[in-house]
Structure 1
Amino acid sequence: MLLKVTLLATLVTVILAFPSDLYSRPHPVYKDEPIPYSYAYAVNDQYTGTDFGHSEDSDGRAVKGSYNVQLPDGRKQTVNYMADHYNGYQADVRYHGEAQFPRQYGPAVTYKPQPYHPQPSYRPRPSYQ
């Protein structure tokens, strides 16, 4: 009886050790080394009121960065963060300025379209007499 159990256990182990697809190549395992990087960008468009930016630095193991955005209520939000595999994502959020809200509410300011009347730049002559 012990021989049958041992033989069955060995057979199950051998079957489970074989890959499920015998004809596929084994997947390569790449050991990626951490690569340091740094980048930054900023957008400030006075016409539309768009103002935001982001900068980030990495030594390959930890990431430190900051981003900011001009909020619709007039405040500027700045987020300073740090992230790594041990401590996770840690952010420090700060607001600069005071929220401003309009005193009068109403429909958005829109402009009525002007009628379009095309004027030919030349007078065509009839092709028949």
Structure 2
Amino acid sequence: MLFVFAALLAVAVADSRPAYQPAYRPAYQPAYQPAYKPAYKPKGYGHHDDYSEPRPYQFGYAVNDHYHGAVFSQNEQADAYGNVEGYYSVNLPDGRVQHVKYVANDYGNNAEVTYEGEAQYPQYKPAYQPAYKPAYPVHPAPAYQPAYKPAY
């Protein structure tokens, strides 16, 4: 009989709910609700891309700014074996154009640099020339006068 009573007591205790119930349960939702859920699963902090194998790519750009005079460009491509070939050119301040063709592979980095044009260094002329010539000296040069004359 004691066994049956203990079993009923165990069932009653396991089925009972906690005695504490909150007195107030808010009926509102938070002000911010996301408008959508992304269709992708974001990568976690433990995710790492594998960069051990070379990946082929190709890119290029060119700038020709007529207002400031900047002209430069670059093209580069790489294959699946890690070999990189490229070319770039830039207008130098001395008036020449520098062309560089380069190759980077297992044997090292090799570059062929050529120049187009002759370096020019024109005489500097300021952009603004004053229309008047000041008369120098405007004030006479100061002359030293001792404050007192020593009596020897």
TM range (shorter): 0.5 to 0.7
- Which of the residues 47, 51, 60 maps onto 1:40? 60
TM-score by length of structure 1 reads 0.56
- Which of the residues 60, 65, 68 maps onto 2:89? 68
SS at match of 2:76: strand
* Structure 2 Cα separation of the partners of residues 31 and 44 of structure 1: 34
Q: Spell out structure 1 runs of 4+ moving beyond 4 A.
A: none
Amino acid at match of 1:62: N
Offset, 1:31: 6.8
Q: After TM superposition, list the pairs within 5 Å mapping 1:66-105 onto structure 2.
A: 66-84=87-105, 86-102=106-122, 104-105=123-124
Q: Percent identity?
A: 49
Larger Rg: 1 or 2?
A: 2
TM-score by length of structure 2 reads 0.48
* Structure 1 Cα separation of the partners of residues 115 and 56 of structure 2: 30
* Structure 1 Cα separation of the partners of residues 99 and 78 of structure 2: 19
* Structure 1 Cα separation of the partners of residues 96 and 51 of structure 2: 45
Unmatched 5+ stretches in structure 2: 1-47, 129-152
Which is richer in strand?
A: 1
Superposed CA offset, 1:65-100 (max 9, x none): 00100001110000000001x211100000001112
The CA RMSD over aligned residues, in Å, is 2.3
